Amino acid sequence: MRRKRLTVAVALAAGGAVVLAACSSSKGGGGGGGASGSNAANNQGVSAAYNAAVDKIVNPSTKTGGTLKLGATSDADSWDPKIAYYGWAWNMQRLYLRNLIGYKVLNGNKFELTPDLATDMGTHNADFTQWTYTLKPGVKWENGKPITALDVKYGLERNFASAEIPGGPSSYFTSGLKAPKNYLGPYKSGDVPDSDIKASGNTITINLTAPNADFNYLMAMGASGPVPYKTENTPYKGSTYTKHPMASGPFMFKSYSPGKSLVLVRNPQWSQSTDTIRHPLVDEVDLTIDTNPEDLDSKLQSGQLDANAAGGAGGLTPAFKTKVLTDPNLKKNADDPAAASTQYLPVMQSVITNVHCRNAIFYATNKASILNVYGGPTSGDIAGSMTPPGIPGHQPTSDYDPLSAGSDQTGDLTKAKSELQACGKPNGFNVIFAYATPSSYGPKVFAAEKAALSRVGIQLTPVTDDSSTYYNTFIGSPSNIVKKQIGMGLAGWGADFPTNVGFYQAIANGNSIVDPGNSNYPSLNDPVVNQLLNAGPAGKATEADWQKLNHQIMDVAVYVPLYWSKTLYYRNPRMTNVTCDNALAFGIYDFVNIGVS
């Protein structure tokens, strides 16, 4: 009997210790974050506070030196600017790459473009179908060679090489740039003729297939950026260019271990006098890939890492997020910026062909529980339609919510059931739901949606794919969707640039459908949508047209809008000059201008 009591006592003590440890409040990781550092770099500087970096500069300083330590839970989709499509990869590109045009103001009410490698914002003809730029003198690659107009032309041509280097936002270029019919990119088809893109000396003239008043937004994208003509970065070329892209920015690749780490050091060939966008302070940037998201967050809190370069696909892990929001010492190092980005469920019309069946899914979805999966109201605002805030045509959910999940957004079962009647399946039907792994969110969203839809008899079965291939070849292949009979997916989309075309071109225009590498997952090909999107670039659309676009997309019922994203980020207080990059990367910090104190 003595033995038994001892055993029980030991077990209780051990269990108790674990519970106590888990519940104890954390040591404040905030340290000396309150001080505003040395001389303010400009009069927008503020000291650390919650949401301070959203549209101001936190901890201004001119102190140079040190190493910025970043972490991410997976590698970038690519470091090759043609292929990279992740927002955080675009943000990282500001460290080592420059394009003709760049963003000077990345947040606030209006983003601002400014010339980067170009001398000015380009000149165009009357109907916006031809644009000419001149490169600044003295801009060089990391190997000392000058950046020429031919390099810009070659970079644009690479967008057509979808066999060798698939992926990326190339559809903007393959459909927008004039090129010979069946042009397959520089590796197979050589160069495009001068009548399409002419590069002579430092001047490049680009002809477009259709008017595009917003062309400078495309020239601010990494995929438009120059790549050394034909040599690229021998031996890294084509699909291996990602291992060491040639740098034009203030930093360059020192060592890269795919899936593990990336080290960037200063590029001596970059000169500050040619660059108004970047004012780098650190000597080195280290990116470590830590596949365990909780471990990464603990390194953030302890100061071993300065920031999560990838924003964590939803920000901080739920445990750390709770800590940050409830501890004032941590909260002042956090920001919750909004982004022109929507999280949604594509409903594949090639598999669920009847629009009423699709409507039923809209009505029965429990958007509130799904937002909770992502962390609740700090993660976003529930969306009634696809156009997010910041893009013209946006309407708050209280004003426009056509296939509404009810006043409390938990699902309108009555309407769902009547739609099921209308599509001839009153008892529901089976749907295969695809999501990417590893993911903290995929399985939970699936579980929430499964529970929500089963209330009206729609039964979900899951199918998964790795996140490095899910978007590109799994739901990004219309033939794969039909083959595997995938009915629904889970995705988020941020505006590639802050216009309707920037948000919708790749996901809603019929002319952007490709296989694989498709971002228009449900293969939406509606004539009204196409016509509105194609008219925009001529500068001929009005706010009313953009509203009409938003409404038409809802009528076709292929995208269940879940919420408009907000993401909670955490910054290490030792970082200086911190501000959010909303233009490229959903509010992740603009690392190129950050220093360490």
Partner 1 sequence: MIRFIIRRLLGAAVVVWIVSVVTFAIFQLAPTLTHQSPVYYYIAKQPPPQGSAQFKELEHAFGFDRPLFQQYWNWLSNIFHPHTISNGTGETTTCHVPCLGYSFKLHTPVSTLIWQALPVSLSLAVGASILWLFGGLLVGTISGLRPGSLFDRVGMIVTLTAVSVPIFFTGPILLLLFVYTWGWLPNVTYAPLTEDPLQWLKSMILPWIALAGAFAALYARLTRATMMETMSEDYIRTARAKGLPRRTVVVKHGLRASLTPIVTIFAIDLGTLIGAMVITETVFNLKGLGWLSIQAIRTKDLPVILGVTIVAAIALVVANVIADVLYAVVDPRVRLS
Query: Distance between CA 246 and CA 455 in Å, rounded?
Result: 55
Please identify, using beta-carbon distances, which residue of 186 and 392 lies nearer to partner 1: 186
Query: Distance between CA 485 and CA 498 in Å, rounded?
Result: 34
Pick out residues in 291-320 that bind partner 1 (CB under 8 A): 291-292, 294-295, 298-299, 301-302, 304
Tell whether residue 239 is a contact of partner 1 (CB under 8 A).
yes
> Quick check: helix, strand or coil at residue 519?
coil
Please identify, using beta-carbon distances, which residue of 29 and 45 lies nearer to partner 1: 29
The residue range among 117-125, 232-240, 410-418, 561-569 that interacts with partner 1, by the rule CB under 8 A, is 232-240
Q: Closest distance between partner 1 and the C-beta of residue 301, in Å?
A: 8
Choice from 38, 454, 468, 542 touching partner 1 (CB under 8 A): 468
Tell whether residue 255 is a contact of partner 1 (CB under 8 A).
no
Give Cα separations from 587 to 102, 309, 314, 571, 590 (angstroms). Answer: 16, 11, 11, 12, 8
* Strand 459-466 to 430-437 pairing: parallel
Query: Distance between CA 374 and CA 202 in Å, rounded?
Result: 48
Tell whether residue 18 is a contact of partner 1 (CB under 8 A).
yes
Query: Distance between CA 429 and CA 448 in Å, rounded?
Result: 17
Please identify, using beta-carbon distances, which residue of 303 and 376 lies nearer to partner 1: 303
Please identify, using beta-carbon distances, which residue of 299 and 321 lies nearer to partner 1: 299
Asked if 65 and 282 touch (Cβ cutoff 8 Å), the reply is yes
- Angle of helix 355-364 relative to helix 413-422, nearest 10 degrees, comes to 170
Please identify, using beta-carbon distances, which residue of 16 and 201 lies nearer to partner 1: 16
Pick out residues in 134-163 that bind partner 1 (CB under 8 A): 163
Measure the N-to-C terminal CA separation of the chain; round to a whole number of Å: 62
Tell whether residue 13 is a contact of partner 1 (CB under 8 A).
no
H or E segment at 70?
Answer: strand 67-72
Please identify, using beta-carbon distances, which residue of 51 and 239 lies nearer to partner 1: 239
Please identify, using beta-carbon distances, which residue of 286 and 336 lies nearer to partner 1: 286
Asked if 349 and 358 touch (Cβ cutoff 8 Å), the reply is yes
The residue range among 143-151, 237-245, 446-454, 548-556 that interacts with partner 1, by the rule CB under 8 A, is 237-245
The length of the chain is: 597
Asked if 375 and 568 touch (Cβ cutoff 8 Å), the reply is yes
Please identify, using beta-carbon distances, which residue of 172 and 236 lies nearer to partner 1: 236
Among residues 442, 297, 383, which one has the least CA distance to residue 563?
383
The residue range among 18-26, 46-54, 90-98, 168-176 that interacts with partner 1, by the rule CB under 8 A, is 18-26
Please identify, using beta-carbon distances, which residue of 120 and 295 lies nearer to partner 1: 295
Query: E strands along 414-497, which residues?
Result: 430-437, 459-466, 486-488, 491-494
Place of tokens 């990279």: 84
The residue range among 112-120, 209-217, 285-293, 344-352 that interacts with partner 1, by the rule CB under 8 A, is 285-293
CB count within 10 Å of CB 530 equals 16
- Per-residue binding string, partner 1, 340-359, x by CB under 8 A, is --------------------
Place of tokens 């360490």: 596
Tell whether residue 6 is a contact of partner 1 (CB under 8 A).
yes
Interface with partner 1 (CB under 8 A), residue total 44
Asked if 204 and 132 touch (Cβ cutoff 8 Å), the reply is yes
Choice from 366, 477, 505, 593 touching partner 1 (CB under 8 A): 477
Asked if 226 and 97 touch (Cβ cutoff 8 Å), the reply is no
CA 512 to chain CA centroid, Å, is: 18
Tell whether residue 99 is a contact of partner 1 (CB under 8 A).
no
The residue range among 109-117, 233-241, 342-350, 403-411 that interacts with partner 1, by the rule CB under 8 A, is 233-241
Tell whether residue 372 is a contact of partner 1 (CB under 8 A).
no
Tell whether residue 238 is a contact of partner 1 (CB under 8 A).
yes
Please identify, using beta-carbon distances, which residue of 22 and 126 lies nearer to partner 1: 22
Tell whether residue 322 is a contact of partner 1 (CB under 8 A).
no
Nearest 5 degrees, angle CA 80-CA 83-CA 84?
A: 80
Asked if 158 and 165 touch (Cβ cutoff 8 Å), the reply is yes
Query: Distance between CA 395 and CA 385 in Å, rounded?
Result: 8
The secondary structure of residue 489, as a DSSP letter, is -
Please identify, using beta-carbon distances, which residue of 77 and 336 lies nearer to partner 1: 77
Q: Closest distance between partner 1 and the C-beta of residue 440, in Å?
A: 14
Choice from 19, 27, 65, 190 touching partner 1 (CB under 8 A): 27
The residue range among 16-24, 370-378, 388-396, 400-408 that interacts with partner 1, by the rule CB under 8 A, is 16-24
Give Cα separations from 112 to 105, 498, 578, 584 (angstroms). Answer: 5, 10, 18, 12
Give Cα separations from 486 to 290, 489, 540 (angstroms). Answer: 31, 8, 38
Please identify, using beta-carbon distances, which residue of 166 and 389 lies nearer to partner 1: 166
- Angle of helix 527-535 relative to helix 543-556, nearest 10 degrees, comes to 150
Please identify, using beta-carbon distances, which residue of 473 and 499 lies nearer to partner 1: 473
Place of tokens 């008892």: 427
The secondary structure of residue 382, as a DSSP letter, is E
Q: Closest distance between partner 1 and the C-beta of residue 446, in Å?
A: 17
CA atoms within 13 Å, Cβ hemisphere of 424: 4
Q: Closest distance between partner 1 and the C-beta of residue 20, in Å?
A: 9
Determine phi and psi for 372, rounding to 5 degrees: -65, -35
Q: Closest distance between partner 1 and the C-beta of residue 339, in Å?
A: 27
Tell whether residue 166 is a contact of partner 1 (CB under 8 A).
yes
Tell whether residue 543 is a contact of partner 1 (CB under 8 A).
no
Pick out residues in 388-447 that bind partner 1 (CB under 8 A): 437-438
H or E segment at 45?
Answer: strand 45-46
Tell whether residue 473 is a contact of partner 1 (CB under 8 A).
yes
Q: Closest distance between partner 1 and the C-beta of residue 286, in Å?
A: 11
Choice from 502, 516, 537, 587 touching partner 1 (CB under 8 A): 516
Please identify, using beta-carbon distances, which residue of 1 and 22 lies nearer to partner 1: 22
CA 411 to chain CA centroid, Å, is: 28
Tell whether residue 271 is a contact of partner 1 (CB under 8 A).
no
* Site residues, partner 1 (CB under 8 A): 3, 6-7, 10, 14, 18, 21-22, 24, 26-27, 163-164, 166, 187, 238-240, 242-243, 257-260, 288, 290-292, 294-295, 298-299, 301-302, 304, 437-438, 466, 468-469, 473, 477, 515-516
